[in-house]
Amino acid sequence: MIKTENLKKIYNHDFEAVKQMNLNVGKGDIYGFLGPNGAGKTTTIRMLTGLIEPTEGRVILNGLDVRSEKQEVKKHIGVLPESNGYYEWMTGKEYLLFFSSLYGITKKKRAERTDELLEMVDLQEKANIRIHQYSRGMRQRLGIARTLIHEPRIIFLDEPTLGLDPQGQKDIEKILLHLNKEKGVTIFITSHLLKDIERICIA
């Protein structure tokens, strides 16, 4: 499902952030990508999702070459970056409706999909509250809902539990396990904490 061949990223001609990476993540896997700050996790996610070009090597997602089939690849993946921007003045529901419209989902389906996702991430009671009043945990859950709008088969999450309290972490883990076990979504998740990755990947 996610395959890399000798993936390498060199910044500024001389700094090797990622060296010769060969990954093979199977369909339906939860793949934990562990490393300390600065190890190259974000760089790797950016290359895997086509946000930046590798210096060498290639990425194949769901059988598609990320460099040459970027538009098609986008339909198959959802990405939650480490620092996700939110439109603070929108409510959670408006935010998801807005992104559904960007994905070209029909008006009727947009409302249905938004309600379904709000329920999945346990935000239905906060759906009509503006995002600037959301806690970090609520924002992360909303971010995960946003990555799922177009029903991707693979999602990439960059340190999604960073800065969350234990309950907030558990809430995210529960959502990810549900997505993986019930919906068969392949998940690529980064963290710098071994116990976070262990809990999610060995569940």
Ligand X SMILES: Nc1ncnc2c1ncn2[C@@H]1O[C@H](COP(=O)(O)OP(=O)(O)OP(=O)(O)O)[C@@H](O)[C@H]1O
- Beta carbon nearer to ligand X, 37 or 167: 37
**Rounded Cα distance, 117 and 29, in Å:** 21
Interacting stretch for ligand X, rule CB under 6 A, among 34-42, 102-110, 135-143, 147-155?
34-42
| Interface pick for ligand X out of 6, 22, 26, 38 (rule CB under 6 A) | 38
155 touches 78 (CB < 8 A):
yes
State the minimum distance, in angstroms, from the CB of residue 84 to ligand X: 13
35 is a site residue for ligand X (CB under 6 A): yes
Instruction: For the segment 170-199, give every residue that binds ligand X (CB under 6 A).
Output: 192
Size, binding site for ligand X by CB under 6 A: 14
Q: Which residues of 43-67 are buried (b: 16+ CB within 10 A; e: fewer)?
A: bbbbbbbbeeebeebebbbbebebe
Q: Which residues of 73-103 are buried (b: 16+ CB within 10 A; e: fewer)?
A: bbebbbbbbeebeeeeeebbbbbbbebbeee
41 is a site residue for ligand X (CB under 6 A): yes
42 is a site residue for ligand X (CB under 6 A): yes
The residues binding ligand X (CB under 6 A) are 11-12, 15, 17, 35, 37-43, 82, 192
